[in-house]
Structure 1
């Protein structure tokens, strides 16, 4: 576990820590950084990864199905754990448990823990998490458009069209000019440090935390319950080796900041979600390191 903390979690903490320090010293716009990451760098990372990935179509679909099953199982667990809470708080906990930070936390951790093959797996999960976030989030928070509005929001994201473009290039065996590929790769390489800086800035600008029962319930389910559930569910669905490792590692990620942004957008219990995001991020520094330390054993199961 110490090696996992030193070699996997420490680099993430260092880069995010720089972002937090910058947020304390300067007035920085989260919206601007978010737009750069979401609309510029992350699409390039997805395109670069999918063009060079070793993940086959069948393997990717298998992993995606397991991820969606895990997220829905997390929603059910959160519902059962908070059935006595007010409706708005219960929905906030359900979203906080289901929507993990598989982008600016999950991608670099996967790269450091499992190398390029692990990053390829993590990109598949991240793309699934984008779809999940912008459909399940609005649905749980009670937006006027519901899941339909969420799907339309997903369809407008550049990362989706980059996925389509990459799949077409691979299926049709189209050549990609070397200069274009190098430009895409260069942008993609900038994505991970940028999203980590953004995460640190978001944490550095965080306000006062709300330490309530639902918050602790959501944090516990997110960083402890979801990895255990992912292991059992993954084995039950036939995942083995790197696929199982990728699913369990993704499940150990904290609640995504997007869960808070959507809660604020739709007038939900954003105070609860914001506290879950901050606390689960801090807690996951330890729990994610534990999961990383157990990845060799997890990869040998089955």
Structure 2
């Protein structure tokens, strides 16, 4: 566990800490940072990873089956567990448990814990999680999106097109010219540290965390129950090796910041959701270290 803490989690929190300190010292335009991540860095990382990946179509199918299957079971467990909470808080907690931070946290931790193959799988899971956030998220907050609106939101995401174009290029054997390929790789390489700095900035602007019943319930479900359920579901589905490890790691991630944005957009107890995002992010320093230290047993 100490090895995982210092070799995997410490670099993540040190880089995020830089962002945290910058937020405390300066006024930083988070919207512009998000646009840089969304429209440049993450698509470049996704494109270069797909072009270089060793993940097969079978592995992609296994990852989708395992991640979605785990999410479904986790949703059922969470729906029962939140009955101890007041009704207005229940759906927000379920959303916080189901929708993990597979971008800011998932990508860099997968790279540090499982290497390039782990990062390639994490990008596949990241894409699945994006679709879940923009489909399941609004429904849980009481807003049933239209099919047209949902599709429109998803197709606007440049990372989706980057993956699609890279997949087509791989299939037909197209390679980028050397100079352009180097440029894409350089931009993609900047994604992981910039994502972590942006996460630190978000935490730096956050309020003090209050560990009430709502926050504790969400934290236990997200950081303790989710990875255990991931192992059980994947084992039943026959998934082993890096597919199993990648899904367990993905389900160990803290609550996605986008859940807070949805709560803010739909006026659904955004203050509690913000506390859940902050709490799960900080507590995950320990819980993800435990998961990473045990991944070698799941092969």
TM-score scaled to structure 1, two decimals? 0.96
8 Å Cα contact 1:203-1:278 kept in structure 2: yes
Aligned residues: 299
Equivalence for 2:268: 268
| CA–CA distance in structure 2, aligned partners of residues 128 and 118 of structure 1 | 15
Gaps of 5+ in 1: none
State how 1:99-178 maps to structure 2 within 5 Å.
99-143=99-143, 145=145, 148-178=148-178
Equivalence for 1:219: 219
Range with greater deviation from structure 2 (118-127 or 219-228): 118-127
Equivalence for 2:289: 289
What root-mean-square deviation, in Å, do the aligned CA atoms of Structure 1 and Structure 2 show? 1.3
8 Å Cα contact 1:138-1:147 kept in structure 2: no
Partner SS for 2:190: helix
Q: Deviation of residue 175 (structure 1)?
A: 2.5
8 Å Cα contact 1:255-1:281 kept in structure 2: yes
Equivalence for 2:193: 193
Q: Deviation of residue 178 (structure 1)?
A: 1.3
TM-score scaled to structure 2, two decimals? 0.97
Partner SS for 2:83: coil
Range with greater deviation from structure 2 (233-242 or 150-159): 150-159
| CA–CA distance in structure 2, aligned partners of residues 223 and 129 of structure 1 | 17
| CA–CA distance in structure 1, aligned partners of residues 201 and 262 of structure 2 | 18
| CA–CA distance in structure 1, aligned partners of residues 93 and 182 of structure 2 | 42
| CA–CA distance in structure 2, aligned partners of residues 84 and 146 of structure 1 | 32
Equivalence for 1:203: 203
| CA–CA distance in structure 2, aligned partners of residues 155 and 86 of structure 1 | 36
| CA–CA distance in structure 2, aligned partners of residues 68 and 144 of structure 1 | 20
- The answer as to 2:92 corresponding to 1:92 is yes
- The answer as to 2:197 corresponding to 1:179 is no
**Relative to structure 1, is the Cα distance of residues 31 and 230 closer, same or farther in structure 2, using a 3 angstrom cutoff?**
same
Q: Deviation of residue 66 (structure 1)?
A: 1.1
Q: Deviation of residue 130 (structure 1)?
A: 1.0
Equivalence for 2:42: 42
Equivalence for 2:251: 251
Gaps of 5+ in 2: none
